[in-house]
Amino acid sequence: MEYRDGKFVPMAIKSLMSEGENILISPCPTLPIALESEVKLAVLPVYGEVEVREK
């Protein structure tokens, strides 16, 4: 999921390779993305506009 204009929206990616928890994807995201299980990501659009706080 890509974080765009205050909302999470689906983003099509292709997994090129992975090692452990690291994955190389294409295309390279230009905006912040959410990394989590598909089940958890699927509910993000339901929340509508959300504020993302950096740690």
Q: Which residue has the tokens 């989590």?
A: 36
Q: Which amino acid is at 51?
A: E
Tell me the chain's radius of gyration from C-alpha atoms. 12
Query: Which pLDDT does position 41 carry in this prediction?
Result: 83
For residue 12, pLDDT over 70 is answered with yes
Mean pLDDT, to the nearest integer, of 6-20? 89
**Closest by CA position to 7, among listed 53, 55, 39, 44:** 44
**Rounded to 5 degrees, what angle do the CA atoms 52, 41, 48 make?**
50
Contact 44, 16 (CB under 8 A): no
Q: What is the mean pLDDT of the chain?
A: 85
pTM over cut 0.75? no
Percent of the chain with pLDDT over 90: 20
Query: Which pLDDT does position 55 carry in this prediction?
Result: 64
Q: How far apart are CA 51 and CA 3, in angstroms?
A: 10
